[in-house]
Amino acid sequence: MDQINEFVDERQKSWCIHCGEFIESVDSNRDHAPSKILLLKPYPENLPVVQICKQCNEGFSLDEEYTATFLSCVLTGSTNPDTQCNPRAALILRKSPNLRARIERAKKEYQTLGGETRTVWIPETGRINRIALKNARNHAFFEYGEPMLQEPNSIWSAPLETLTTEQRSEFEKINMEADLAGWPEVGSRMMTRLLTGQDFSDGWIVIQDGTYQYGVVQHDGILVRSVLFNYLATEVYWAD
Ligand SMILES: [Zn+2]
């Protein structure tokens, strides 16, 4: 990815977009959006970054580890560290037997009427949604300079394949030019993307092909969607 500088109001950068603390009065650091644990090496250059307070940043790490590890286990059908698609998940499974056991317990096998054995994985939805919300706040801020401190009106996450055909095509349609009711502020990254098409694919911003993409639409509020590992869909919406 190329770097896009943005020129939206500097005043909006003075507080942590997760807790509202003034950044100058607390320890803060740069947070990648999404964090690298949700990506694969080699990492793309110029990942989006947002300055957030250290306490919030550290507060997300266990849920981030859980989300990345759970996803990798589901995608590979196993909690075995040797078979993971995300090497960071393999490391976590090795160093944390408790988390491995916890994810193993979430794996349920059942018999179909035809006698086949199928597997389902029961996610800890609250933890995954916390990370979806964190990323959504970072993406909205990075693209539009909008701090979305309030609680969202809705939030969900689900595997793409569990959506109906209609739900899926509605979800995947995040076409800015067609849906654009309000134009993004001049100087915002989103305005630059609209003008240049940078990193855009049908309205989605592709951070790493097949691993992480997101879309942000400002339309009667802010809507942020993401797709992780071509598998998990998330959506967060704040009404105006
Ligand atoms: Zn904070």
Given a cut of 60, whether residue 11 has pLDDT beyond it is no
pLDDT in tens, 30-41: 999 999 999 999
Instruction: Check whether residue 51 and residue 165 sit in a common domain.
Output: yes
CA of 79 to the centre of ligand 1 (A): 33
Given 121, 147, 162, which residue is the final one in a domain? 121
> How many A from CA of 78 to the centre of ligand 1?
35
Distance 73 CA to ligand 1 centre (A): 30
Cα-to-centroid distance, 3 and ligand 1 (Å): 25
Q: 78-83, long-range: CB within 8 Å, 24+ apart, which pairs?
A: 79/103, 79/104, 79/107
Q: Which stretches does DSSP call E strand in 74-211?
A: 107-111, 117-121, 154-159, 200-201, 204-208
CA of 55 from ligand 1 middle (Å) equals: 6
List pLDDT tens digits, range 126-158. Answer: 999 999 999 999 999 999 888 999 999 999 999
Residue 108 CA neighbour count, 13 Å, CB half: 8
- SS3 at position 13: helix
| Domain of 229, in residue numbers | 12-59+125-239
Residues 228 and 130 in one domain: yes
Q: Is residue 30 part of a domain?
A: yes
Residues 99 and 204 in one domain: no
Q: Is residue 6 part of a domain?
A: no
- Above pLDDT 70, what percent of the chain? 91
Residue 150 has φ and ψ, to the nearest 5°, of -75, 165
H-helix or E-strand spanning residue 72: helix 61-76
Structure tokens at 109: 């096998």
Instruction: Say yes or no: 108 and 208 in one domain.
Output: no
Q: What's the gap in Å between 142 CA and the centre of ligand 1?
A: 16
Q: Per-residue pLDDT for 165 more than 50?
A: yes
- The reply to whether 65 and 49 lie within a common domain is no
CA torsion 38-143-44-202 (nearest 10°) is 90
Residue pair 224/142 in contact by the 8 Å Cβ criterion: no
Could you tell me if 65 and 43 lie in one domain? Answer: no
The answer to whether residue 3 sits within a structural domain is no
Proportion of the chain above pLDDT 90, given as a percent: 71
Its pTM surpasses 0.75: yes
Q: What separation in Å is there between the alpha carbon of 48 and the centre of ligand 1?
A: 18
Could you identify the residue written with the tokens 């090496």?
41
Position 3 confidence tier, pLDDT thresholds 50, 70, 90: low
Total number of domains constituting the chain: 2
Tell me the CA–centroid distance for residue 233 and ligand 1, in Å.
25
Say how many residues make up the chain. 240
Residue 226 shares a structural domain with residue 147: yes
